[in-house]
Amino acid sequence: MSTILISGTNRGLGLELTRQYANDGWRVYACCREPAKAPELTSIAAASGGLVTVHALDTSNAEQRQALAAENNSEYEQ
Ligand SMILES: NC(=O)c1ccc[n+]([C@@H]2O[C@H](COP(=O)([O-])OP(=O)(O)OC[C@H]3O[C@@H](n4cnc5c(N)ncnc54)[C@H](OP(=O)(O)O)[C@@H]3O)[C@@H](O)[C@H]2O)c1
């Protein structure tokens, strides 16, 4: 399965790319700064059957970038 990480998925191009990649069957790591304030994204993830997962990420925050990478490295190692 093809996989993509997209930032800024709460609105605009990021949200639409998330919708279209999920519709095409991609595994989408959908990132945004405040997932709790992203209802449309949350709905897409809920309806995706696990293809889309939502992650908190401010791309300017090195700690958040590293935490997300570590979280998903462990997912691949399982
Ligand atoms: N729309 C176009 O036609 C077009 C064409 C060519 C290029 N672009 C470029 O493509 C990008 C997206 O366009 P858009 O129209 O979708 O813009 P948009 O509606 O303004 O959305 C920008 C997104 O980026 C997020 N964001 C900003 N700073 C961030 C950070 N530090 N960490 C994580 N997320 C951050 C915003 O999150 P928050 O909601 O939290 O602020 C929002 O989700 C922009 O760089 C734009 O210049 C757009």
* Domain boundaries defined on the chain: 3-77
Q: Give me the pLDDT at residue 46, please.
A: 98
Distance CA 28, CA 76 (A): 14
Q: Is any atom of ligand 1 closer than 6 Å to the C-beta of 68? A: no
Nearest one of 3, 6, 68 to 41, comparing CA atoms: 6
Arch. (CATH architecture) of 3-77: 3-Layer(aba) Sandwich (3.40)
* pLDDT tens-digit map of 9-24: 999 999 999 999 999 9
Say if residues 32 and 24 touch (Cβ distance below 8 Å).
Answer: no
Q: Is any atom of ligand 1 closer than 6 Å to the C-beta of 60? A: yes
Beta pairing partners, 6: 30
Q: Is any atom of ligand 1 closer than 6 Å to the C-beta of 65? A: no
Whether the predicted pLDDT of 75 surpasses 70 = no
Is pTM, for the whole model, over 0.75? yes
